[in-house]
Amino acid sequence: MDDFMKANRDLWDELTPIHELAESYDVEGFRSGRSTLKPIEVRELGDVSGKSLLHLQCHFGMDTMSWARLGAFATGVDYSPKAIDLARKLSSELGIKADFICCNIYDLQDILKKEFDIVFTSYGVLTWLPDLNRWAKTVTHFLKPGGVFYIVEGHPFLQVFDNSNKAADFKVENSYFHQTEPIKWEWENDYSDNKAQIVHPSYEWSYTISGVVNSLVNAGLVINFLNEFPISAYRWSPFTNKKDEHGLWHIEGDKVPLTFSLMATRPFSR
């Protein structure tokens, strides 16, 4: 794990106890049976009952366990020890059968020796990855022949804009295109708690839609679909100021892509 990823792991160790108490994560609601899955992934991924599911970059596992509640044999992976400790605590407390592994996903092949019907990842994951091609090869490695990969994620188009609290309009601040060196962000506050004071910076990478698609194709997967939506799972900026009945955020007029989803299949022969 390089220095940038170690710094990001420290950030997520810092964020985990904040998120455990944050109203937007609603851990108490989850304890009472609330699913943390959004309508997009439930609809597009479909019935997971009886299927093995690997959740990459699972944070503290509420989505992983929500899939388990729907009948999947779920395994969650994250590199934050504090997040995995909390995931295991909740799983044990609630009697939800799910496995959790604390690991950088680039090293996962050395630890986990099985294949899955589904590999899943969602909402705020790609920006933490320095190498998209290694990520895509990891996805393919863990899929059974005929298995599917599914991602729902913030649209990379948004990464070009200033999304700070002071932003007054859509101003281009960053390149849309991937750069080898990450962008360093000093957090003004946490997206789940605007009063939380965050000590650790983050180091993030940007990717294009074509970069995501091509990395998966080059890793041997076949693209089933690519969809785009004018909704966001979190309040991305001051401009995402309209919240719908599903808890999803919009920019007035729904003219800007905020989220994309993609499904791909591992062929039976490569």
User: Do 52 and 118 meet the contact criterion of CB atoms below 8 Å apart?
Assistant: yes
Domain ranges of the chain: 3-265
For position 245, what pLDDT does the model report? 80
pLDDT above 80 for 171: no
For position 64, what pLDDT does the model report? 98
Task: Reduce the DSSP state of residue 35 to 3 states and report it.
Answer: coil
Distances (CA, A) of 67 to 78, 88, 106, 201, 266: 16, 15, 23, 31, 21
pLDDT grade for 238, boundaries at 50, 70 and 90: low
- Residue 49: alpha-carbon gap to chain centroid: 22
Dihedral pair phi/psi, residue 229, rounded to 5°: -140, 150
pLDDT grade for 246, boundaries at 50, 70 and 90: confident
Residue with tokens 């969602």: 122
pLDDT grade for 168, boundaries at 50, 70 and 90: low
CA–CA gap between residue 119 and residue 212 (Å, rounded) = 15
pTM: 0.93
Dihedral pair phi/psi, residue 126, rounded to 5°: -70, -30
**Other C-beta atoms lying within 10 Å of the C-beta of residue 99:** 17
- Residue 46: alpha-carbon gap to chain centroid: 18
User: Do 241 and 261 meet the contact criterion of CB atoms below 8 Å apart?
Assistant: no
CA–CA gap between residue 36 and residue 90 (Å, rounded) = 14
Q: What is the pLDDT of residues 53-103, one digit of tens each?
A: 999 999 999 999 999 999 999 999 999 999 999 999 999 999 999 999 999
**Other C-beta atoms lying within 10 Å of the C-beta of residue 5:** 17
What is the average pLDDT value for the chain, to the nearest integer? Answer: 91
Instruction: Strands of the chain (E only): list them.
Output: 52-56, 73-78, 98-102, 116-122, 143-154, 183-185, 202-204, 222-229, 240-243, 249-251, 259-265
- Residue 263: alpha-carbon gap to chain centroid: 14
DSSP state, residue 160: G
CATH class of 3-265: alpha beta
Q: What is the pLDDT of residues 1-50, one digit of tens each?
A: 589 999 999 999 999 999 999 988 999 999 999 999 999 999 999 999 99
- 164: tokens are 């700070």
Dihedral pair phi/psi, residue 174, rounded to 5°: -130, 160
Residue type, 188: E
